[in-house]
Amino acid sequence: MKKIGIIGGSGLENITSLKFYGEEFIETPYGRPSCKYKIYKNSDVIVYSLSRHGDDHRFAPHQINYKANIYGFYQAGVQEILSFSAVGGINLNYKNGDLVLTDDAIDNTVRGNVTFYDRTGYVVHIDMSLPFCPSLRLKLKESADLCGIDLIDKGIYICTNGPRFETPAEIKMYRNWGADMVGMTLFPEVTLSKEMGICYANISLVTNAAAGVEENRKLTSDEVIEEAKRNTLKISKIIEQYLK
Ligand code: HPA
């Protein structure tokens, strides 16, 4: 039976078309994942869903045990991961509520020890020419189209360390680098998934204009979470269609 993983933020646990089957705590050699995996089933698919920030949004981006989260999926036998993230829009055409099917990314984090290949004497450089799984991206785009939900078909995500938001000057620089959107969690999630041979794709939800894009405006994490919640239904619909 096919096993699919979903990583999301708050409010993404309700995958209504599938039957909730229970929760599983998966202990890994890398420690504890952010929380228990919620399990959903139908006749030919099992879904393992994980809240990246844990229950009650308790882990900030730099505190997440990314290795445990991804290894937990691997131990469960998950072959593909659909990842969903909140981002700030850098691209001036983006507006709140836009969904972007990420096609490339820049790692600007300063996290250490974030590879499964950290054994001395065994050097592996994984290929990142295609950072996101092409077949999964295609299927997600088809699913969005089928349910009439606009999904921007490409965009470059820059990942910062967090947990603070960026300065306007940083955002200007990131735009010059070619980034369309900014978030704090894509790396090392995407690279660790690749290392484990798991097909990974990301849909980013624009929750706010990045710092300095709108003049004299402050940004709060509450508004990010509220905007994410307002758009949860669109994301669940894409997932439901994808699982049909
Ligand atoms: N910056 C970084 N991460 C984010 C943002 C942002 O503006 N919005 C949502 N996640």
Phi, then psi, of 229 in degrees rounded to 5: -65, -40
Looking at residue 13, its pLDDT comes to: 56
Mean pLDDT score, 13-31: 85
**Residue-level pLDDT at 15:** 60
Rounded-to-integer distance, Cα 48 and Cα 40, Å: 7
Cross-strand partners of 181:
89, 157
- pLDDT grade for 16, boundaries at 50, 70 and 90: low
The mean per-residue pLDDT over the stretch 161-177 comes to 97
pLDDT tens-digit readout, 44-82? 899 999 999 998 889 999 999 999 999 999 999 999 999
The CB density around residue 131, as the number of other CB atoms within 10 Å, is 22
% of the chain at pLDDT higher than 70: 96
| Cα 86 to ligand 1 centre (Å) | 7
For the chain, percent of residues with pLDDT exceeding 90: 79
Which amino acid residue places its CA nearest to atom 3 of ligand 1? 183
pLDDT for residue 18: 78
pLDDT at 237: 93
In this prediction, residue 19 carries a pLDDT of 84
**DSSP characters over the chain:** -EEEEEEE-TT----TTSEEEEEE---BTTB--SSPEEEEE-SSEEEEEEETTTGGG---GGG--HHHHHHHHHHHT--EEEEEEEEEE-STT--TT-EEE--EEEEE----S--S---TT-------SS-S-HHHHHHHHHHHHHTT---BS--EEEEE--SS---HHHHHHHHHHT-SEEESSHHHHHHHHHHTT-EEEEEEEEEEEPTTTSTT----HHHHHHHHHHTHHHHHHHHHHHH-
pLDDT at 56: 83
pLDDT at 215: 86
**Average of pLDDT values for 25-36?**
97
The predicted structure's pLDDT at residue 131 = 97
Confidence of residue 112 (pLDDT cuts 50, 70, 90): confident
Cα dihedral 19, 21, 23, 25 in deg (nearest 10) = -120
In degrees, rounded to 5, the angle at the alpha carbon of residue 42 between the alpha carbons of residues 41 and 45 is 75
| Selection from 66, 51, 178, 58 nearest residue 111 by Cα | 66
Q: How confident is the model at residue 123, as a pLDDT?
A: 87
In a mutational test of the pocket of ligand 1, which residue from 184, 202, 229 has the highest number of ligand atoms less than 8 Å from its CB?
184
182 pocket-lining for ligand 1 (C-beta < 6 Å): yes
pLDDT at 11 over 60: no
How much is the mean pLDDT over the chain?
A: 93
Which residue's CA is the nearest one to ligand 1's atom 6?
88
Largest interatomic CA distance in the chain:
52
